[in-house]
């Protein structure tokens, strides 16, 4: 634990050395170079846990840059009275696979009575067709900005913002554009942040009038960690639909699942299964597969040729590369296994909405515990590995137990169904209108958090193999360079492309 706490403090110190250098550049009037360093600081905090979930120093610096770059005010646009709300969804980028884009898509589909536009600033792949179709169905537009210039993108967002009744931010954690664009003193259009990255640091508290949580068990934590005052709730939208026996058997035939087999399903990106301490999903499941010959596990999201798949190869463990075509996997499975140590909430909620039982991870930290206070049935998280194993074995061997547990999941899924989502969205709009421009009352904490949840997050994000690109930091002052090299000395010395002489040159040469 001591090593983890030292690591968090070291990350925090290097982050602040970056922000300090950015402040120096801003004071000199070098806005482009300052913005580059701000971006590096945001990147670092996003991918290396620094002990905070919101950070006031960088956010305030971005506000000063906004003034220095003369990004204009956000003036309400004159337009005819309309019965429909105009909603702007801002996202950094969207993808074919993953809950982030699906949540945006489902919001628009659930609120088809209003007009929705989508603005993207760092879209490097084609916009998913399902999202384009959803926007077009409500007479909206998808705009992809092709400029790599951050200030240009911020000016565009600031320029169009006044034409909307509400702005929803679905941005990436390290995106500086929302603050540069929307931190205007006289902004009347409300800004909501959809907290899809609720477990981690993100930029944007200073423009967040209303924080839209995807689970209300994190509201108290976000008050403490981010200093936010106003909250809404949008449970992750899913469609409730029980699977017919015909669909169940047809999908199993397609996947080659035998009638007597009990199919376990887990869905998630490869990194979500990387072990932390005692939590090793594949090491835990293999003994279960060995004991119960009727059990077969399909894991969707991991390439069969990957090192992870090869390391844990088993005759009844099947790996499937990432795909958005999940219907047959959902239909055919008997039990959903939540992957760990990092959860995929949307993945298991979609299966639970079919009336399938879910075996959740054991002893989850706060960041992995998903619950809604209005659920009609209790959510069960095993206390430890032994209880997890016992519960899973019970589900594998008892069809009636699977049926009962599946009914509970199906009952809870009504909280995520379209009708419930529509009502939540209406409440969000009403709350947002009441707090428009009130983000200034948010008080970002300066605490360095280091409790059990924070230590878990540090370990999740710790990656000694992450390459440090030294030339990006060449203009840093001496103290910041020393921080960088000292904190990453093991990985730097292990690289064949860097020598001790290179490190001395990097630290002590000015150009």
pLDDT value, residue 472: 67
Percent of the chain with pLDDT over 90: 71
27-66 confidence digits (pLDDT tens): 989 999 999 999 999 999 999 999 999 999 999 999 999 9
pLDDT value, residue 34: 94
Same domain, 138 and 174: yes
pLDDT value, residue 55: 96
pLDDT of residue 464 exceeding 60, the answer is no
Residue 56 in domain:
no
| Lookup result for tokens 């960041």 | 367
Distances (CA, A) of 202 to 52, 55, 199, 486: 9, 8, 9, 26
pLDDT value, residue 19: 93
Q: What is the pTM of this model?
A: 0.88
77-100 confidence digits (pLDDT tens): 766 666 799 999 999 999 987 778
Question: How confident is the model over 414-433, as a mean pLDDT?
Answer: 95
pLDDT value, residue 463: 63
Distance CA 261, CA 294 (A): 5
pLDDT of residue 290 exceeding 90, the answer is yes
pLDDT value, residue 77: 74
Give the chain's domain count. 3
Same domain, 179 and 109: yes
Same domain, 264 and 148: no
Q: What residues pair up with 266 in beta bridges, in sequence order?
A: 299
Residue 318 in domain:
yes
Of 17-21, 159-163, 175-179, the poorest mean pLDDT is in 17-21
110-133 confidence digits (pLDDT tens): 999 999 999 999 999 999 999 999
pLDDT of residue 10 exceeding 90, the answer is no
User: 10 Å Cβ neighbour count for 316?
Assistant: 17
Residue 283 in domain:
yes
Structure tokens at 20: 């300090």
Residue 141 in domain:
yes
DSSP string, 243-274: PPHHHHHHHHHHHT--TT-EEEEEE--GGGG-
Question: How confident is the model over 438-456, as a mean pLDDT?
Answer: 88
pLDDT value, residue 481: 80
Same domain, 291 and 410: yes
Mean pLDDT of the chain: 91
pLDDT of residue 467 exceeding 80, the answer is no
Of 6-10, 189-193, 242-246, 328-332, the poorest mean pLDDT is in 6-10
Distance CA 101, CA 92 (A): 11
165-195 confidence digits (pLDDT tens): 999 999 999 999 999 999 988 899 999 999 9
Residue 72 in domain:
no
Please say whether the beta carbons of 341 and 274 come within 8 A: yes
Nearest to 367 by CA among 385, 337, 347, 345: 345
Same domain, 169 and 270: no
pLDDT of residue 468 exceeding 70, the answer is no
Same domain, 458 and 400: no
Would you place residue 310 in the very low, low, confident or very high pLDDT band (cuts 50, 70, 90)? Answer: very high
Same domain, 207 and 327: no
Same domain, 347 and 206: no
pLDDT value, residue 80: 66
Of 295-309, 349-363, 432-446, 470-484, the poorest mean pLDDT is in 470-484
pLDDT value, residue 79: 67
Q: What are phi and psi of 422, to 5 degrees?
A: -55, -40
Same domain, 254 and 146: no
Same domain, 387 and 255: yes
Sign of the C-alpha dihedral computed for residues 381, 386, 389 and 390 taken in this order? negative
State the CATH number of the domain containing residue 315: 3.40.50.2000
Domain that holds residue 338: 245-416
Same domain, 292 and 229: no
The answer for 363, left when phi > 0, alpha when psi is -120 to 50, beta otherwise, is left
Same domain, 326 and 383: yes
Residue 189 in domain:
yes
Structure tokens at 14: 């290097």
Residue 69 in domain:
no
Q: Using CA atoms of 149, 154, 156, 159 in order, give the dihedral in degrees to the nearest 10.
A: -150
Would you place residue 366 in the very low, low, confident or very high pLDDT band (cuts 50, 70, 90)? Answer: confident
Residue 62 in domain:
no
Please say whether the beta carbons of 468 and 488 come within 8 A: yes
Would you place residue 13 in the very low, low, confident or very high pLDDT band (cuts 50, 70, 90)? Answer: confident
Distances (CA, A) of 52 to 10, 57, 222, 299, 508: 13, 12, 11, 33, 31
User: 10 Å Cβ neighbour count for 464?
Assistant: 8
pLDDT of residue 228 exceeding 70, the answer is yes
pLDDT value, residue 466: 55
């Amino acid at each position: 634990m001591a090593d983890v706490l030292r690591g968090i403090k070291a990350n925090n110190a290097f982050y602040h050395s970056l922000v300090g250098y950015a402040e120096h550049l801003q004071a000199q009037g070098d806005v482009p170079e300052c913005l580059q360093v701000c971006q590096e600081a945001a990147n670092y905090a996003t991918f290396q846990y620094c002990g905070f979930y919101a950070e006031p120093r960088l956010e305030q610096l971005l506000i000063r840059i906004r003034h220095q770059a003369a990004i204009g005010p956000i003036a309400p646009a004159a337009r005819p009275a309309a019965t429909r709300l105009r909603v702007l969804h801002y996202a950094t980028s969207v993808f074919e696979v993953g809950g982030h884009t699906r949540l945006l898509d489902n919001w628009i589909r659930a609120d088809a009575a209003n007009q929705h536009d989508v603005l993207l600033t760092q879209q490097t792949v084609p916009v998913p067709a399902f999202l384009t179709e959803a926007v077009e169905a409500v007479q909206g537009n998808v705009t992809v900005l092709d400029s790599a210039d951050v200030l240009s993108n911020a000016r565009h967002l600031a320029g169009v913002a006044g034409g909307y009744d509400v702005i929803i931010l679905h941005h990436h954690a390290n995106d500086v554009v929302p603050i540069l664009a929307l931190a205007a003193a006289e902004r009347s259009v409300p800004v909501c942040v959809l907290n899809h990255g609720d477990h981690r640091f993100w930029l944007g508290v200073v423009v967040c009038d209303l924080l839209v949580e995807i689970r209300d068990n994190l509201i108290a934590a976000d008050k403490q960690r981010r200093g936010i005052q106003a909250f809404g709730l949008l449970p992750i939208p899913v469609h409730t639909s029980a699977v017919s026996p015909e669909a169940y058997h047809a999908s199993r035939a397609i996947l080659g699942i035998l009638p007597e087999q009990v199919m376990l399903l887990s869905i998630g990106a490869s990194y979500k299964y990387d072990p932390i301490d005692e939590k090793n999903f594949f090491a835990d499941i293999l003994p279960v597969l060995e004991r119960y010959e009727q059990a077969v596990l399909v894991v969707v999201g991991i390439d069969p040729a990957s090192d992870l798949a090869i390391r844990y190869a088993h005759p009844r463990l099947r790996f499937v590369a990432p795909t958005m075509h999940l219907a047959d996997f959902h239909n055919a499975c008997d039990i959903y296994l939540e992957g760990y140590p990092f959860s995929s909430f949307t993945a298991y909620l979609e299966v639970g909405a079919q009336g399938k039982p879910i075996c959740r991870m054991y002893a989850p930290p706060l960041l992995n515990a998903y619950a809604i206070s209005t659920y009609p049935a209790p959510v069960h998280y095993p206390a430890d590995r032994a209880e997890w194993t016992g519960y899973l074995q019970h589900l594998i061997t008892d069809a009636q137990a699977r049926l009962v547990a599946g009914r509970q999941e199906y009952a809870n899924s009504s909280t995520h169904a379209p009708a419930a989502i529509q009502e939540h969205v209406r409440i969000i709009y009403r709350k947002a209108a009441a707090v428009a421009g009130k983000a200034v009352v948010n008080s970002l904490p300066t605490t360095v958090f280091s409790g059990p949840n924070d230590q878990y997050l540090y370990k999740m994000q710790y990656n000694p193999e992450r390459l440090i690109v030294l030339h990006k930091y060449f203009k840093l002052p001496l103290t910041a360079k020393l921080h960088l090299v000292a904190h990453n000395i093991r990985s730097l010395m292990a690289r064949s492309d860097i020598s001790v002489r290179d490190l001395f040159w990097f630290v002590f040469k000015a150009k």
